[in-house]
Structure 1
Amino acid sequence: MFLFVPRLTKHHPERGDARTRLLDAACDTIRAKGFAATTVDELCRVAAVTKGSVFHHFKSKEALGVEAARYWAETTSAFFVSAPYHEPRDPLDRVLAYVAFRKSIIDGELPAFTCLVGTMVQEVHADWPAIRDACGASIFDHAATLEADLAAAMKDRGISGDWTAASLARHTQAVIQGAFVLAKAGNDAALARESLDHLDRYIRLLFAVAPTRRKR
C-alpha cells in the first residue's frame, strides 16, 4: 500500500495459503534486493513452499512480479483507507495530514519502509512491461485518492493556476518515491523524512498556509 508502507505482518510460513505466502515473500524480498536479484529458490525458502508451488500459482517469475504489484496495491490500499489522515474536516488539513502520515511511517530498516512498486518499476520498466504497467497502476491509483481533497481545497481557497489537483497528487508521489531513492543512496532514512518536510512546505506555499513550527 503506496506507494510504500512498512511490512504489514511478520512472515509466518505456516500461515496462509502458498500463493499468499509467496506474495508476502516477494513484497519483502524484492524491496530488499530488487526484482532481478530475487530468485525463485529464495522465494520458496522464505515462503516455505516448493518450486512446484510457485509455478502452480504463477506461470513465470514475470507473472509473479505482476501479481506481487497487484497484491501490494490491494494490501496498501486497505492500510491507507484506515489511516488517521482522513479524520480532519478541512480537505487541505487532510492532505497535510497525509504528508505527515507518510513521514511518520518512514522508520526502521530501508527495505521495511520503501515501496515495492516504486522499487520494481525503476528496474523493470523497459524489459518487463507487464510488471511496469501493474506498478504504474498502483502508483497512479494511489495518487488519485488525493485528488478529491486537493480539488476541494483549491475550491475552498479560490486557488487556480496552470496545474490541477490531479497533477499535484501525482507530484506528491514523485516526491515520496524520490525520497526513498535518496534514503537508499545515502543509507539514511532521515533523508526521506527531510523530503517530506519540503513537500509539506511546498503545499502550504501553494495554498498560502502558514508553516508549522517543527521540533528540532
Structure 2
Amino acid sequence: MNLETVPQVQSSASSKGERTKARILDAAYDSIIQKGFAGTSIDELVEATGITKSGFFYHFRDKSDLARQLLVRFLAEDDAVIDSLKARAEQLVDDPLQQFLLFLNLYAELVDEMDALHPGCLVAAVVYQEQVFDAEVRRLNSEAVMRWRERFLAWLEAIDRKHQPVTPLHRLALADALSAIVEGAIVLAKALDDRALMGRQLRLFRDMVKTTYGVA
C-alpha cells in the first residue's frame, strides 16, 4: 500500500461521515421546527436520511446528544452571520452609531433575499418546549440569549460614548428589543405568510434607534 494515499482515504471517510452527520442534523432541525422535539423520533430521522440506526448512534449517543449538537451548530451559524454583518459594517464606517444602523440595514437586506419564509428559530423551539430538553440544552440556550444581549448592549454602550440620546434610553431594554423583534418577526411572518415582514420589522427598529439618537 502506498502510504501517501492513507491520509486521502482517511480524509474521504471523514468527509463522508461529516456529510452524513450534517444530513441527520438538517433533518432533525426541520422536524423539530415543524413538529417539536417530542414529535421527532430517531426512527424517522434514520428513514429520512437513509442510514441505519447504528449509523445514527455512531454520531450521537442518544436523542438528547442530537439536540445538544444541533443547538451548538445552529448557534455557531447564527453567530457567524451576525459577526459577518458586523464586520462589513465596521469596514465601511468608523462611527459606532452609523455601524449599528448599517448593520441593521444589512440584516434587513439579508432576510429580504431569503427565497422562502424563515423556517423557525431553534432557540425559540427550546424555550417553548423546554420540558422535553435536558438541562444541558436549556443551559446552552439561555447562555446564547445572554450572549445576544451582551453583544448588542456592548455596541450601544460604545455608541453612548460618542452620542447623547435625545430621548430617554434604557440600554438593556433596547438591546433585548432587537432579539425580541427578530424572534417575533419569525413567528409573525410564518403566521401571516409574509416573507417581507422580517425586513420591515428590522427597518422599523433601525428607525427607532435613529430617533433615539436624533439621526435625521
| Fold match by TM threshold 0.5 | yes
Residues 1:178 and 1:158: Cα distance change in structure 2 (over 3 Å): same
20, 23, 29: which is aligned to 1:21?
23
TM-superposed deviation, 1:30: 2.9
Match of 1:85 in 2: 89
Residues 1:36 and 1:56: Cα distance change in structure 2 (over 3 Å): same
Q: Secondary structure at the match of 1:174?
A: helix
Q: Secondary structure at the match of 1:146?
A: helix
Higher relative contact order (Cα pairs below 8 Å, separated by 6+ residues): 1
Residues 1:156 and 1:181: Cα distance change in structure 2 (over 3 Å): same
**Structure 2: gaps of 5 or more residues:** 1-14
Q: Secondary structure at the match of 2:61?
A: coil
How many residues matched?
A: 195
Residues 1:194 and 1:47: Cα distance change in structure 2 (over 3 Å): same
Residues 1:143 and 1:28: Cα distance change in structure 2 (over 3 Å): farther
Letter of the 2:72 partner, please give it: R
Match of 2:176 in 1: 170
* Native 8 Å contact 2:189 2:197 kept in 1: yes
Match of 1:134 in 2: 140
35, 38, 41: which is aligned to 1:39?
41
1:94 aligns with 2:99: yes
Residues 1:117 and 1:47: Cα distance change in structure 2 (over 3 Å): farther
Match of 1:9 in 2: none
Residues 1:82 and 1:110: Cα distance change in structure 2 (over 3 Å): same
Structure with greater proportional helix content: 2
RMSD: 2.7
TM-score (norm 1): 0.75
Distance 1:37 1:109 in 2: 24
TM-superposed deviation, 1:104: 1.9
Residues 1:151 and 1:128: Cα distance change in structure 2 (over 3 Å): same
1:124 aligns with 2:118: no
Residues 1:45 and 1:81: Cα distance change in structure 2 (over 3 Å): farther
Kindly name which structure, 1 or 2, has the bigger radius of gyration based on alpha carbons. Answer: 2
TM-superposed deviation, 1:25: 3.0
Match of 2:202 in 1: 196
* Native 8 Å contact 2:108 2:202 kept in 1: yes
1:57 aligns with 2:64: no
**Post-superposition CA distance 1:59-106 (Å, at most 9, x none):** 332332122111111222223322323332111122122222222222
Distance 2:58 2:49 in 1: 14
Match of 1:108 in 2: 115
